[in-house]
Amino acid sequence: MSEYNILVTGGAGYIGSHVVQQLRSKGRNVVILDNLSTGFRQAAQDTDLVIGDTGDKALVSQLLKDHNVGAVMHFAAHTIVPESVSDPLKYYGNNTCCTRNLLECCSAHGVKHFIFSSTAAVYGIPATGVAREDTPLNPINPYGSSKLMSEWMLRDLSAATDLAHVVLRYFNVAGSDPKGRIGQSTRKATLLTKVACEAALGIRDQVAIFGSDYATPDGTGVRDYIHVEDLANAHLMALDYLEQGGASNTFNCGYGHGYSVREVLDMVARVNGAPLNIKELPRRAGDPPTLIADAERIRTTLGWRPQYDDLEQIVASALHWERKLMQNDFRNQ
């Protein structure tokens, strides 16, 4: 199956770059499409990089043709929940409309396999705090809605054509490449582990806990944190599944257990060897007390087995990357 190219949109970003790195290590042919609005040239390493937007149908069509693309992994998206609330059309424009244009191009050029980067935000606030793939879908912000609309488009296109797809619903992604080659480089990031690591190293003055009165063991929100390397591997296994004739499917990407905000902050402080400056603030609207994946389907269907299911390992890899950025911040070059 290595004769065709795999197009990775957003492949110069955090998660996409880790997937590209794993694909290349397996000898796969990859081309990246990224507008570099949040991605970085250096994260693409030596992979072919085309700078542009997924909504540019002429560019995408030419790229699919010139590079003999047979599979697409689609990461390019805006992902900041509060921003989606204040500027919803930005999210529907990029996450939904541009995905629609990409899918049109894929259909016209006979792309057979499509893997979509989705989110646990499509579930909203599950009643039990644990989400299965068949849990009712009830997003509570435009970010989640924009992703769910893309899931629906994929579902309907696959029903009408021979395009087969996998939707991967991410829970809380964390950590970086253990070898320190790439990592989470987004400026003003909102992911807890990165924010905490920046605070630990003095890049930020403090880290906030939003809500300490939830009905959880220590009063702070509980989330399912998945190492980016395990998440990247899920994408490779999803592609293998489709190439072997697997039917279109949806999989949660999480470990099936959670850590509280306070547990994550305690681990960052312990690994770094110094206390954090923590500020406790009121709850944020729409934050569920607990959000954990039921990930049995991906384990059973794909045979996915995580290799980095350890909070200390996740934090250590994130801290290592932040220290490397402090020494040589390519974002300023």
List active site positions: 143
Q: Which of 78, 187, 97 is nearest to 143 (CA)?
A: 78
The H-assigned helical ranges of 46-204 are: 57-66, 81-86, 88-91, 98-108, 142-160, 192-200
What are the beta bridge partners of residue 172? 225
Kindly give the pairing relationship between strand 113-119 and strand 130-131: unpaired
For residue 101, CA distances in Å to 55, 93, 98, 129, 328 come to 6, 11, 5, 34, 37
Strands (E), 175-234: 207-210, 222-223, 225-227
The H-assigned helical ranges of 244-310 are: 261-272, 296-302
Q: Give CA–CA dist 83/67, Å, rounded.
A: 35
- Cβ contact 148:122 at 8 Å: yes
Q: Give CA–CA dist 136/23, Å, rounded.
A: 33
In 3-state terms, what secondary structure has residue 91?
A: helix
Q: Which of 120, 113, 145 is nearest to 242 (CA)?
A: 113
Sign of CA dihedral 30, 102, 158, 134: positive
For residue 322, CA distances in Å to 94, 271, 329 come to 29, 13, 9
